[in-house]
Amino acid sequence: VQLQASGGGLVQAGGSLRLSCAASGRTFSNYFMGWFRQAPGQERDFVAGITGTGRGTFYAESVKGRFTISRDNAKNTVYLQMNSLKPEDTAAYYCAAASSHSRYRGAYDYWGQGTQVTVSS
C-alpha cells in the first residue's frame, strides 16, 4: 500500500485543517487506518484510528472532541478533520495502515510521508 498525505499548513490557534491520505496498491478497505504525529524531539504518537468499514473510530485523549477521523473507501482516502487547533498540536502528521486495530506504531505496515501542521498562538 502506498500512502500520500496532504493538507498540512500554518493556522492560527482555534482554527481548523483537514488532512487527507490517499492510498493505492491494495484493497484499502481491508486496512485499519491511523494518524500519528511527531513533534521535534518527541516520539511518534497515535492520534486517531478507524476500522476498515469506518464504523469504529478511536482517538487519543488529547484530541478527543476536536479531531474527527473518517474514510471514503470508494476514493481510497482517509481524512483527519482538526478543529479548535492548539499550538501543542504542532507536529508532522503521518497516516499509516495496519492489518488490525492498534494504537501502537509498530503494528503499522505502511506509512505515508509526513505533512506538517503548525499552529501559531
How does pLDDT run across 34-78, given as a tens digit for each residue? 999 999 999 999 999 999 999 999 999 999 999 999 999 999 999
Q: Are 89 and 11 in contact (CB under 8 A)?
A: no
Confidence of residue 99 (pLDDT cuts 50, 70, 90): very high
106: helix, coil or strand? helix
Q: Which residues contact 109 (CB under 8 A, 6 or more apart)?
A: 1, 97, 98, 99
As a whole number of angstroms, the distance between CA 40 and CA 92 comes to: 9
Q: Are 112 and 77 in contact (CB under 8 A)?
A: no
How far the first Cα of the chain sits from its last, in Å, is 37
Mean of the per-residue pLDDT values of the chain: 97
In this prediction, residue 25 carries a pLDDT of 79
Which of 41, 31, 28, 30 is closest to 91 using CA atoms? 41
β-pairing verdict for 115-120 and 9-12: parallel
How far is residue 75 CA from its own chain's centroid?
16
